[in-house]
Structure 1
Amino acid sequence: MPRTTVDTRAEIRAAALELFSERGVDATSLREIAERIGITKAALYYHYASKDALLGDLVDPMFVELRELGDELEGRSIDAGDEAQVRAVIERFWELCLRNRAVMRVLIHNPRVVARIELAPRMLHWRERIDGVLVGSDDAADRVRAVVALGGVQDAVVVFGDADLPRIREAAVDAAVRALRM
């Protein structure tokens, strides 16, 4: 049967994300990804030279969003004492995490892969930028509160399912704002 889609790279990414979520990155072969969408392994290699290159393509949009958020926040003045401004930043971070939830789940469940392709330093770099903007300080206690706040939001997005997502969002954002106020 002829293929009806034209964006083979998008199909590969979708199938990879699904299989990586089901089986793990190391337990999923490129052949299985190719078979999932009905192409040859050679055709998959035309688009991605390795599984790590494919995984990198899956996580890049998240890093682009993190960079853009960090750049935007650094470009304007955030008053760490203004709860409305802080809440708006936390809500933006929630939405970013939610859009990238599937990728984050894959990364959390595959720590060896994260280490192998050196994702942790990139993630920490962008999170530290956002943390710093949120608290406006290099004080260790302030930075810890920011790490707890954003880390809690990120974890809430990843850990909880879609059931009652608006309530989970509200609870996570409220908890993050409280953590930053302490």
Structure 2
Amino acid sequence: MPRARSADTRERIQQAALDLFSAKGVQHTSLKDIADRLGMTKPALYYHFSSRDDLVSSLAKPLIDDFDAYVGAMEADPPADRRELLGSFFDVTYRHRGLLLLAIRDLSVLQEMHLTDHVAGWRRRIVALLIGESPALADQVRGMVAIGGLSDCAVAFEGVDVDELRAAAVDAAYDTLRSE
């Protein structure tokens, strides 16, 4: 039973950190700010996270693990239909929209959470699945625009029905991939 309470506290710390990072920026949020938000002492917070970097990394880890697994699964068994791939990419992006929105608002988050290379790699690999081997530059650009726009839509539209947003974003990304 204590383990569950510890996990709950850890999740509360992560949520408070994410809220404060969104409001103040990662660079301007201290562990003391996070502890104060939760009504706990800084040493109590250190029980769960050894450092601010450890806390920041813990926020990025689920996103990294999820995207790594997703891209690996798509490469191992690519869907036959581009729309299906675009839809599943939207879904995995939408699951992590809070953290990705933070990264868009505060670009230092990409560096702080060591996400820059990961994101670029995932996008390259998904684009390769969408457009195939040795594509023309115009097709590569269409692929990047499709994936980048799809990602942006997944995080930028707050308060919109997710199914409606998904359909519109996938349609737009799919249309972008079509060459004249």
Q: 1:21 is matched with which residue?
A: 22
Q: 2:107 is matched with which residue?
A: 111
Task: For residue 98 of structure 1, report the CA deviation from its aligned partner.
Answer: 1.1
Q: Does 1:67 align with 2:68?
A: yes
Q: Tell me the alpha carbon deviations over residues 69-100 of structure 1, each in whole angstroms, 9 at most, x when there is no partner.
A: 11111112444xxxxx1111111111111110
Task: For residue 5 of structure 1, report the CA deviation from its aligned partner.
Answer: 4.2
Q: 2:167 is matched with which residue?
A: 170
Structure 2 residue aligned with 1:89, among 85, 89, 92?
A: 85
**Distance of aligned partners of 1:150 and 1:6 in 2 relative to their CA distance in 1, 3 Å threshold:** same
CA distance in 1, matches of 2:84, 2:79: 10
Structure 1 residue aligned with 2:125, among 118, 122, 129?
A: 129
Q: Runs of 5+ in structure 2 lacking a partner?
A: none
Structure 1 stretches of 4+ with a deviation exceeding 6 A read none
CA distance in 1, matches of 2:122, 2:134: 16
SS of equivalent to 1:154: helix
Q: Which amino acid aligns with 1:134?
A: L
SS of equivalent to 2:67: helix
CA distance in 1, matches of 2:74, 2:93: 16
Q: Runs of 5+ in structure 1 lacking a partner?
A: 80-84
Structure 1 residue aligned with 2:96, among 96, 100, 113?
A: 100
Do the aligned partners of 1:94 and 1:154 also contact (CA within 8 Å) in 2? yes
SS of equivalent to 2:126: helix
| Count of residues in Structure 1 that have an aligned counterpart in Structure 2 | 174
Q: Tell me the alpha carbon deviations over residues 13-67 of structure 1, each in whole angstroms, 9 at most, x when there is no partner.
A: 1111111112211121111111222221112122223222212111111111111
Q: Does 1:11 align with 2:12?
A: yes
Task: For residue 117 of structure 1, report the CA deviation from its aligned partner.
Answer: 4.5
Do the aligned partners of 1:131 and 1:143 also contact (CA within 8 Å) in 2? yes
RMSD of the alignment, in Å?
1.9
Structure 1 residue aligned with 2:150, among 148, 153, 157?
A: 153
Length-normalised TM-score, structure 1: 0.86
Do the aligned partners of 1:78 and 1:133 also contact (CA within 8 Å) in 2? no
Q: Which amino acid aligns with 1:11?
A: R
Bigger mean CA deviation after superposition, 163-172 or 60-69: 163-172
Q: Percent identity?
A: 37
SS of equivalent to 1:19: helix
